[in-house]
Amino acid sequence: MLTAIIHGLVLAFGLILPLGVQNVFVFNQGITQPNFIRALPVIITASLCDTLLITLAILGVSIIVFGNPIIKLSILLIGIGFLIYMGYLTWKSKPNHQASEEKALSPKKQMAFAASVSLLNPHAIMDTIGVIGTSSLSYSGTEKRLFALSCIFVSWIWFFGLAFIGRMTGKFFDSRRFINIVNKISAIIMWCTAIYLATTL
């Protein structure tokens, strides 16, 4: 059982560590929100989306997705289009001179965007379903459940930590300039991800 737990922790951490669209958005909200509590909608939404993807992957959706080329192609095409569009919007967005409360996203917008960058990001879907789903086939019963819970635990801890680090970073740097840099990096990551996914078609 300990092997399943350690495997889940290490595997999930390795998958979530790269600076992807989802991570940059959660980090960005940690910066822009006036306090940490106001960033909870994005943290909880991103964590719940990861929980859903991990659960579906371990329940066997990976077999369905990777066994059906049409479904896989559809996910990739939708995701590529989404990443290109969101990259454009993020690149063009500029932090204004208003108060933090006015420029920060509302809870509903945080939740909607967090869900979209989580559930419409084919790279994350393929990683979760392909890697975690496939790895879970090594376990059964209690070990499989512990493996799943370990992966889910990493996601929740990671997003809380990421938003907190963003919040701390925003306190020590010029918020508007820093947000602008993060937005540019986020847009570039989205476009690079879209290009990479396009090469896999």
Distance CA 52, CA 67 (A): 20
Res 81: pLDDT: 81
Ranges of each domain in the chain:
2-199
Query: pLDDT tens digits for 33-92?
Result: 888 888 999 999 999 999 999 998 888 765 666 667 787 777 678 767 877 887 787 787
Distance CA 125, CA 77 (A): 13
**Neighbouring C-beta atoms of residue 90, cutoff 10 Å:** 22
Do the beta carbons of residue 132 and residue 66 sit within 8 Å? no
Which residues have CB under 8 Å from 143's CB, separation 6+? 1, 3, 4
**What SS3 state is found at 150?**
helix
Query: pLDDT tens digits for 137-194?
Result: 778 889 888 999 999 999 999 999 999 988 887 666 655 676 677 678 767 876 886 7
Distance CA 181, CA 160 (A): 22
pLDDT band at 125 (very low <50, low <70, confident <90, very high): confident
Both tokens assigned to 100: 């933090």
Res 146: pLDDT: 94
Res 73: pLDDT: 78
CA dihedral 31, 33, 37, 40 (to 10 degrees): -80
Cα 110 to chain centroid, rounded: 13
State pTM to two decimals: 0.72
